[in-house]
Structure 1
Amino acid sequence: MDELYPEYVTKEAIEGLTKKLNLPKPDMYSQDWEYEVTDSARVAEFMDFYGNNTLNKEEKFALMKIIISSYDEALTEEMANEKIASQIKSYLILDVYIHRNTISYWALLDEVDIEDCFAITPLMREVHAAL
């Protein structure tokens, strides 16, 4: 198993996911495409796609970043679904060799005050504790 966890979304992953999921392509000013395409209304669709399609490591990494950002938005909008939270945890643990950096980023382990964290931080801390 590759011990080098992905850190960045690649151009190839963006190209693959824009075609497969009909996502907007980045423009010349895009810096964080995976956050620009966040969509709380599509979290279930993204999760279904992650679990039921053949994706390479880079596509899984990029798509999970979109999923987590989208679910964070759903939590903020009070549109979150506990079933999806459970699926996110399962996929993160299953593919931890891909998502360790993403888990750490969203878990904000050094932050004591949960009020200063993302809405999804408690979930990501649960994932981190399960590793």
Structure 2
Amino acid sequence: MSDVFWLSRDLGLPPGDQYTQDWAYELPEQYRTRAWLEKYLAAYLMGGYSPQARHELMTLALDVCNDLVSAGASSAEEPMVRVLSALFEDRQANGDLIAYWAMEGEVLEECFALTPEVRRLKACKRTTGA
């Protein structure tokens, strides 16, 4: 069974179908709220999922954070702070996601709403070695 199947079953999410390519990005709006974000983060932190499933959960959490920030929330609000903290706590496994959301070399006007905070945290972690 696929990681998406298990995540869908465990969290009560639609599993997608044979045409679904990017499950985390294609979930309907009703699953892209603060309440759902809390569930994704809890599942990520709980453990028990494969590295690929945890990657999918972090991808989903970051995308929902970006939606919330785009809609006017601050990246300094909960649960966005906890998602970004979890992202950087496991930099080894999340390096590709950090690079994706940081969009290094791109002007901020052409980046995600979450990009400035990801860049700030990345620079902070680099200078402190944390």
Q: Which category describes the TM-score, using the shorter chain as reference length?
A: 0.7 to 0.9
| RMSD after superposition | 1.9
Q: Aligned pair 1:98/2:71, yes or no? A: no
Shift of 1:40: 2.9
Q: Aligned pair 1:36/2:31, yes or no? A: no
Please point out which of 4, 17, 21 is paired with 1:14: 4
- Number of residue pairs the alignment of both structures matches: 120
Is the CA contact 1:40–1:70 (under 8 Å) kept in the aligned structure 2? yes
Is the CA contact 1:43–1:70 (under 8 Å) kept in the aligned structure 2? yes
Is the CA contact 1:103–1:127 (under 8 Å) kept in the aligned structure 2? no
Deviating runs (4+, > 6 A) in structure 1? none
TM-score by length of 1: 0.81
Shift of 1:53: 4.1
SS at match of 1:62: helix
Whole-angstrom CA distance in 1 between matches of 2:87 and 2:46: 15
Corresponding residue number in structure 1 for 2:102: 107
Corresponding residue number in structure 1 for 2:122: 128
Segments of structure 2 that go 5 or more residues without pairing to the other structure are none
Q: Aligned pair 1:52/2:53, yes or no? A: no
Matched AA of 1:88: V
Deviations along 1:74-107, one digit per CA (max 9) or x if unpaired, are 1111245612222122211221121100110111
Whole-angstrom CA distance in 2 between matches of 1:40 and 1:72: 11
Query: Superposition pairs for residues 77-96 of structure 1, below 5 Å?
Result: 77-80=71-74, 82-96=77-91
SS at match of 1:28: coil
Whole-angstrom CA distance in 2 between matches of 1:40 and 1:117: 21
Which structure is higher in RCO with an 8 Å CA cutoff and minimum separation 6? 1
Shift of 1:49: 2.3
Corresponding residue number in structure 1 for 2:58: 64
Whole-angstrom CA distance in 2 between matches of 1:21 and 1:13: 12
Segments of structure 1 that go 5 or more residues without pairing to the other structure are 1-10
55-64 or 120-129, which moves further after superposition? 120-129
